[in-house]
Amino acid sequence: MTEHTLTHLNASGEAHMVDVGDKQDTHRIAEARGCVRMTRAAYDAIVAGNLKKGDALGAARIAGIMAAKRTSDLIPLCHPISLTNVEVRCEPTEGDDGPRIEITARAECIGKTGVEMEALTAVSVAALTLYDMAKAIDRRMVIGDIVLVHKSGGKTVEL
């Protein structure tokens, strides 16, 4: 298989679930990150915990963890994985492009397939949760820069 072969397509070009039955169980780790850019007012309210809906940073962290656990229910053809650890961090920061919340998720398992989708899903849902909780203040928040930053375990070379 070349690195450009699409593993979720069979010889006829039909989508299918990849058979991982012959793979070895290994400790697999993936880390993803993303951010939500927002106005000063939204940022200040989130950081101070002054939103009518409650603690946005805590809710986003829990939502990200819950989403990682449900990834196979959300992404077609994604294997259900028994996660051994999921961590989500939501860190307020101020950059050249203004205030934002940086989100990092790390997912781990001992298994036959990786946890990249779980880490990416955790970041995405955490970001959506922040948006939902602060949209009354800023409907123009921008969710972006969601990217896999680390992957290890199995045969695939680390990022």
**pLDDT tens, 96-140?**
889 999 999 999 999 988 899 999 999 999 999 999 999 999 999
Is position 70 within any domain?
A: yes
Q: What is the DSSP letter of 77?
A: T
Inter-axis angle of helices 40-48 and 56-69, to 10 degrees? 80
Is position 36 within any domain?
A: yes
The number of domains in the chain is: 1
pLDDT per position as a tens digit, 2-24: 455 656 556 666 666 666 767 78
Q: What is the pTM of this model?
A: 0.89
Is position 20 within any domain?
A: no
Is position 54 within any domain?
A: yes
Torsion-angle region of 106 (φ positive above 0: left; ψ -120 to 50: alpha; else: beta)? beta
Measured distance CA(141)–CA(127) in Å, rounded: 10
Measured distance CA(80)–CA(28) in Å, rounded: 14
Residue with tokens 């990682």: 68
- Specify the CATH number for the domain of residue 109: 3.30.70.640
Is position 4 within any domain?
A: no
Which structural domain, as residue segments, surrounds residue 102? Answer: 26-152
**Of 44, 73, 132, 138, which is the active-site residue?**
132
Q: Please compute the mean of the pLDDT values over residues 29-41 and round it to a whole number.
A: 98
- If you average pLDDT over each of 22-31, 32-41, 71-80, 150-159, which comes out highest? 32-41
Is position 114 within any domain?
A: yes
Helices vs strands, H then E, count in the chain? 4, 4
Measured distance CA(119)–CA(151) in Å, rounded: 10
User: Does the active-site annotation cover 138?
Assistant: no
Is position 16 within any domain?
A: no
Is position 98 within any domain?
A: yes
Chain-centre distance for alpha carbon 90: 12
Contact call for residues 146 and 67 (beta carbons, < 8 A): no
Q: Please compute the mean of the pLDDT values over residues 37-56 and round it to a whole number.
A: 96
Measured distance CA(44)–CA(53) in Å, rounded: 15
Measured distance CA(46)–CA(127) in Å, rounded: 13
